[in-house]
Chain A
């Protein structure tokens, strides 16, 4: 075993209470960063749920649309202009908007309507656990997610309510289609969606374009953009980025999450730095002896960095365990903390970086050691 590792580990274990406190500090710090970055990822995913599940190669939307929930409208004529463009096989209309759900027991609750043409597809409910998409053709039929039953005052298939004065009946139930705004999604047909949101009959929010097999999506996108006025034509990936960037950075939510993560890093760095500094101070005689017997500064720096890395690895292992518990606990909430292999690697790298940065103060201290002090102690 390397003597550097042995010296480092024994220096740390020399004061076990302090070492345990350090590891706990690292765990808290890494869990805080995990939660913040996990929320960032979860938020980034949940704000694009609808875009991710739409069957579209391209989206046509009013110019300047910021995100999926932006209720600006397009003229229905745009659809025919789009269909006339070479390479376009379908332009499915979608209407979205907010409406009030009248609770059976009285009172209202805001809902978000997502309406599509059942024959053309577009944006239909997925993850159905009861009922069917076809059942939405029945007059007044809607689909809701079962996680919102309580809020909507219903108990499953066949439940009745009212939206904008019109009677609706739950004919399909989904699982896991949650909105980060806590406003339940209600899926329905195009005409009913217009009626619920007060959208004029000749208006829609989006056209979801499918290109012909073999056609180049980018070329079709350019042609659509050139021939249609006052619209944006985006691929799903572009719309996803635009929506994500609006919600994360346009609203400041992303900055808040990053600030939390940064705070976690700073707290962790300070805790580890404090420990390494005081541990180095406690072992200053030993470092001076090393220097006196001709040890290079690099060797001593390696001992201190090794102490930092041991703390980091141990702290990260415990933090990863706590992080997994947090991920499991938030999996079914409106805003789950998401953990991916890439995020795990990033967190591990951040933990190592944080601990190595923490070693700087201790390194500066040992760099100043005068080996002659061994004669006076």
Chain B
């Protein structure tokens, strides 16, 4: 088995202060491996995004440890965590978070510019990344000139242009129609084929189960079940069929 690209061990996270304090994560362990698309599913408030933030070195856990490419993040300050993010993590957000005043190329280039990469090389790499996500013809388009699916592709290009170890996507299809959502998930699944890179997708939508290599179910700050993607899909299809059967109206006899 390959070494995890990022690993969370016994993570505990308390959020808020005083009486409003809640325990968002209650001793969760999760490893993200290269060449694997992991789907993190659970109801609202279950702790999905908090776990993703901790795995992405945006939040520091109250307890437990995070290992990014073998390096413990414990005790790292905000700037060290930022360095880990720009070197090892690519983020994809539900609402894209593109810069409206920058072209698609410049939006992608930002991820390299913050690393101090040479401008000409960064532009070339950004155009390559856009081509990879199918936007070779829209390199000079501004976000408002693109559809939602295209904007999310730009965001994916920005996430992968720096060749991160982990791509963390927070509900990447939630703002998209079914077709665009499928296209985005296909793209993320392709990205996950690279054995040096792990992809974690936080989602609600069971329709994207078919893209997952592994599905992790989280509820109330705890991992309640972990299964292979195909098994989860089968179970979901079975549940759907049963649900459809249950939903058939009873025959009314006169």
Contact = CB atoms under 8 A, between A and B. Distances in A.
Interface of A: 1-4, 6-7, 10-11, 13-14, 285-286, 289-297, 299, 371-372, 374-375, 377
Contacts of B114: 290, 293-296, 299
Contacts of B94: 375
Contacts of B110: 3, 290, 293, 295
B95 A294 contact: no
B197 interface: no
Given A4-B113, A375-B52, 6 more contacts: A3-B113, A6-B106, A10-B101, A292-B97, A293-B85, A299-B114
B221 to A, nearest CB: 17
Greatest chain B CB density within 10 A among A3, A14, A375 is at A375
B82 A375 contact: no
Contacts of B58: 292, 371-372
A371 B60 CA distance: 12
9 contacts: A13-B101, A286-B97, A292-B93, A294-B114, A295-B86, A297-B79, A372-B53, A375-B94, A377-B95
B235 interface: no
B131 interface: no
A1 B90 CA distance: 24
Given A294-B86, A295-B86, A295-B114, A6 B91 contact: no
A291 B59 CA distance: 12
Chain B interface size, as a band, is 20 to 34
Nearest to B103: A6
Contact of B87 (A7, A11, A294): A294
B99 A286 contact: yes
Contacts of A290: 110, 114
A290 B99 CA distance: 10
A291 B86 CA distance: 9
Given A11-B101, A293-B86, A294-B85, A375 B79 contact: no
Contacts of A294: 82-87, 89, 111, 114-115
Contact of A291 (B82, B90, B99): B82
Interface string B47-64: 001001100001100000
B102 A293 contact: no
A1 B120 CA distance: 10
A350 B83 CA distance: 35
B170 interface: yes
B214 interface: no
B153 interface: no
Contact of A285 (B90, B97, B102): B97
Given A3-B106, A3-B109, A294-B114, A375 B53 contact: yes
A6 B219 CA distance: 44
B158 interface: yes
A375 B84 contact: no
Nearest to B56: A292
A295 B97 CA distance: 14
Interface string B110-129: 11011100010000000000
Contacts of A289: 93, 97, 99
B114 to A, nearest CB: 4
A374 B111 CA distance: 16
A284 to B, nearest CB: 12
Contacts of A4: 113
A285 to B, nearest CB: 7
A374 B93 contact: yes
B110 to A, nearest CB: 6
Q: Which of B59, B97, B119 has the most CB of A within 10 A?
A: B97
Contacts of A286: 97, 99
Nearest to B59: A372
A2 B113 CA distance: 9
B145 to A, nearest CB: 15
Given A3-B109, A293-B86, A296-B82, A375 B102 contact: no
A7 B95 contact: no
A7 B102 CA distance: 8
Contacts of B91: 292-293, 374
Interface string B136-150: 000000000000000
Contacts of A292: 58, 85, 91, 93, 97
A371 B94 CA distance: 15
B74 to A, nearest CB: 19
Interface string B65-98: 0000000000000110011111101110111010
A371 B114 CA distance: 15
A299 B115 CA distance: 10
